[in-house]
Amino acid sequence: MNFFLIHGGAQGGWCWDGVIAELASSGHTAVAPTLPGCEPGTLVAPEVDLSDLITFATAELTSLDWDDAIVVSHSGGGPVAQGVAEELVGKLRHLIFVDAFVLDDGQSLLDVAQAEQGDGQLGDSGQISSVAFSPEERWIHELCRDMTDSEARSWLPKVVPIPMGWLTEPVRLTKGSWREIPAAYILLEGESVEARVLYESMARKLTNPIIVRCVGAHEAMLSQPRALAAAILKATKVDRL
């Protein structure tokens, strides 16, 4: 099978390396591009918005010339996957969301963040900070809560600010064709209680999804790559590595 892996905010394609290795060991092909504005060492990319990410990912997947791609998205990569599916519905076999956001047409990630957390993510000026969504302490104690402190910190040199446009631009899903693709949702059992409630609500926005549960906190692709690869295969009804 052919897997196209879309990372979430603050990361790059590198975060999927362990999962790619596990999938490859079972004879599957997986590709994980780094989205614009998320290259290692990037300080801030104010010019990058959600539509840029969707355009880039769509072009990358099209260039692979796959007719049966399985698109896997994590966290803020969810709406990127939705946008890609709007354009390439006839070329996709499955959509798999890994504790990922599922947005409605005209909704932004910031809309969801404000609804769930109030205005706590906003600065004094009322403007969102791209860095505020992935500060060091949140990375260590929430997103990587199933790792030791030193393990979590070892990934910090690769973490980058999230482009603000990724958070603030509403997704455009006017055709709704992404819903024609069989969907699955992987729920990570090591998340905080609040996060589990949020992602369970995201899963309920899908139409008759396959639900798979997997060990690991939000960054399970780093802490539990084998388990996550197995969950991805289970979501496609392939039960073993």
Q: What is the pLDDT of residue 41?
A: 77
- Pick out the chain residues at pLDDT < 70: 45, 117-135, 238-241
Q: How many domains does the chain divide into?
A: 1
Quote the domain boundaries for residue 8. 2-119+128-235
Residue 6 lies in a domain: yes
Q: What is the pLDDT of residue 240?
A: 43
Q: 189 and 214 in contact (C-beta within 8 Å)?
A: yes
State how far the Cα of 57 lies from the Cα of 93, in Å rounded to an integer.
Answer: 16
Q: What is the pLDDT of residue 193?
A: 94
Question: pTM (2 decimals)?
Answer: 0.91
Q: What is the pLDDT of residue 129?
A: 42
Instruction: Specify the CATH number for the domain of residue 153.
Output: 3.40.50.1820
Q: What is the pLDDT of residue 124?
A: 34
Q: What is the pLDDT of residues 129-153, one digit of tens each?
A: 444 445 688 899 899 999 999 999 9
Q: What is the pLDDT of residue 201?
A: 96
Residue ranges with strand state E in the chain:
2-6, 29-31, 69-74, 92-98, 183-188, 210-214
Q: DSSP label at 211?
A: E
Residue 68 lies in a domain: yes
Residue 241 lies in a domain: no
Q: What is the pLDDT of residue 130?
A: 44
